[in-house]
Chain A
Amino acid sequence: MRRTGFLYDERYLLHRTGSGHPECPERLTAIFAGIASSGLLEKVRRITAHRPDLAWIEAVHPRDYIERLEQACLNGETEFHGPDNQMCRATFQVALLAAGGILDTLDLIMSGELDNAFCAVRPPGHHAEPMYAMGFCYFNNIAIAARYLQKRWGIGKVAIVDIDVHHGNGTQLIFEADQTVFYYSIHEHPTFAFPGTGREFEIGRDKGLGYTKNSIVVPGQGDEIYRFLLERDLVPALEMFRPEVILVSTGFDAHADDDMADLKLTTEGYAWVMRKIRELADRFCGGKLVSILEGGYCLERLPELGRDHVAILLGD
C-alpha cells in the first residue's frame, strides 16, 4: 500500500455560490462521504489547510488581481468577472486555503512523508487566468502548485495532466511559453464545451512550443476513446518530457451522468484513466503524484468516483 494524503478541510464548504449553482459545497461532502463510507479514511493521511504566504499566489496572479478579489469579497459582492463566478464574503479566504492546503500537501510529498495525494478543494482553479476569474475558478491552484514545486523544492520539470471535461484554459495560458511545465489536457471538443479553447493545434509557443498537448473528445464518446487518446497522446508526451512530478487536474465531469458536458466516461473508465496516470507516475517520477480537484457536479456519482480515486492512489 502507498502512503496517500487526503486534503479535506471543512472550511472549503464555506465558499457559497447560491442556490441552484452546480459548484456547491455538497460536491465536497459527497466525495468525502464516498471515501469515508468505504473505510478509506483510516488508510490515508488526513491533511487540513493553512493559509499560504501570498508570495506563492503571486507566482501566478498579479497582486492587483488578488487585491481586487479580496476587495470584492469584503464589499459583499456576489459575483466576480461574470455571473458564472458566484461568491460570498468567505470566498477569498477559502480560495486562499485551497491553494494553501495544496502547498502543505506538496511539502509532505517532497519531504518523502507521502507518495501521492488527493486534494479535495473548492473553489476549483484550472479556468482562472492570471488576471481573470472564469468558470467557477478564482486562483489557478494547479499552476500555483507547479510554481511552488519549482521555486520551493527546486523541481525542474512538472507535468500537469488535466482530465476535467473542460479545457484548462488558465493553466494552458500560464505555461504555454514554458518548457519546464508540460500541460496535457483531454476534454470535450472545444466547439461544444466551455471555454472553447484547447484545440488540437494549440501546442504551446516560443520556448514552450511542443510542451502543450490537447486531446479532443467528440460529444457522446467515452471510455474507449479515452483509452485510445491517452495511449496515443499522453504516454509519448511524458516519455519525451520525463517529468519529476505529475500534477493532475481531476474533474469528474466527463462522467456520463454529469450534465455539465456531453461525454460518456463511466465510473470504470475513470478508474482506468487514474490507474494509467498512476502507472506513468511510477514510471517517471517514483510515484510522485498529486491530484487536485477541479469540476464534477453529479452528486449521485461523486461518492463512488472519489472513493475509487483514493483507492487507486492507495494502490488498488
Chain B
Amino acid sequence: MFVTKAMTRKVVTVRPEDNLLDTRALMKSHKIHHIPVVEEGNKLVGIISDRDVRSAMPSTLYYESGSERERVKLEKFKVRDVMTKNVITLSLRDTVQDALLLLLKYDIGGLPVVDGDGRLVGILAVRDLLRALVSVLGIGQPGSLLCLLVDDKLGETKKIVDIVFEEKIPIGSILVARHWEPGKRAVFPYLMSINVGSLKRKFQEKGYTILDPEEWYLEDVERTKEERVP
C-alpha cells in the first residue's frame, strides 16, 4: 500500500517564525503530536513535536502553565529555535511498509510526505498507520476469526483458502504466523460471516487442528482471579 492511500492530507502546519505557545495550542486543539514546519510554497523545512515544545518550556513545577510570566517568556521563542531540521520524510513512491520500518528504525511518531520538489503533501502519523492496520485486518467490518494449525510446508495456506472458498465465505484478511511451534504454522483467516459452524466442521473433518486460544495467549502469564475462572 502506497503512503498516499493512508496519509492524512489536510495537514496542520506552522511557520518557522511562529511562536511556541501558539504551536502548543494547535497541538492541543487538533490532538496531534507532530507539526510539519513549512515556508512559502508549502516547502518543508522542519518538523516540531510536542516533545520539542515541552522540553523548551519551563517546568510547570516553577511556573503555572498559562501564567502571564510564562506567556511573556515563551512568546519570544520561535518554532525555528527548537524544530528538527533534518526531517525524515516519505516520498510519493514510498509504501506503508516503508513507513513502518522507518518509524521503528528512528523511533519517531510521524513522517511528513513530500513531493519531488520538497513540497509537503501529507503526513503519516502512527494514528494513520493504526487506521491502515485496522483496514488491512478487516476488523472494521463484521466477521469471525478462525485459528488453524497447519504443517509448515508450501501450499498449506492455499488449501485453507480453497476450503473457505468452497463454502462461499468472503475473506476479510488472512494472517500467517510462520514460527508457531516446530514444524507448524498458525493461520488466522478473518471471515466476513457469522456462518462459520459448517466451515469449522469441515476443517476438523479434514484433520485440521483448530487452536484453542485459551492455550496460547494466556499460557505464560500469571492470571488474576477473573482470568483463572474456570
Contacts and interface: CB of A to CB of B under 8 A. Distances in A.
Partners in one complex: yes
Contacts, number: 79
Main secondary structure of the interface of B (DSSP, over half): loop
Interface in A106-147: 127, 134-136
Contacts of B198: 20, 22
A228 B229 contact: yes
B142 A220 contact: no
A21 interface: yes
B108 to A, nearest CB: 27
A187 interface: no
B57 to A, nearest CB: 32
Interface in A201-258: 218-225, 228, 232, 258
Interface size class of B (residues with CB under 8 A): 20 to 34
B116 interface: no
What bracket does the count of chain A residues touching chain B fall in? 35 or more
Interface string A165-199: 01001000000000000000000010111111100
Interface stretch (B23-31, B97-105, B176-184, B188-196): B188-196
Contacts of A225: 229-230
Contact of A135 (B141, B142, B213, B214): B142
Contact of B168 (A83, A191, A219): A83
A221 B142 CA distance: 22
Contact of A22 (B143, B195, B213, B214): B195
A234 B192 CA distance: 30
Given A192-B213, A193-B144, A228 B194 contact: no
Contacts of B142: 127, 134-135, 169, 194-197
Contact of A218 (B144, B145, B214): B214
A259 B144 CA distance: 13
Interface in A145-160: none
Nearest to B146: A192
A217 to B, nearest CB: 10
Contacts of A20: 198
Contacts of B230: 221-225
A297 B201 CA distance: 14
A58 interface: no
Given A220-B212, A297-B197, 11 more contacts: A20-B198, A21-B195, A82-B193, A136-B195, A191-B139, A194-B193, A195-B142, A196-B141, A219-B214, A221-B229, A232-B226
Closest 5 CB pairs of A and B: A195-B142, A224-B230, A194-B194, A220-B214, A259-B197
Interface of B: 139, 141-145, 147, 168-170, 192-198, 200-201, 212-214, 218, 226, 229-230
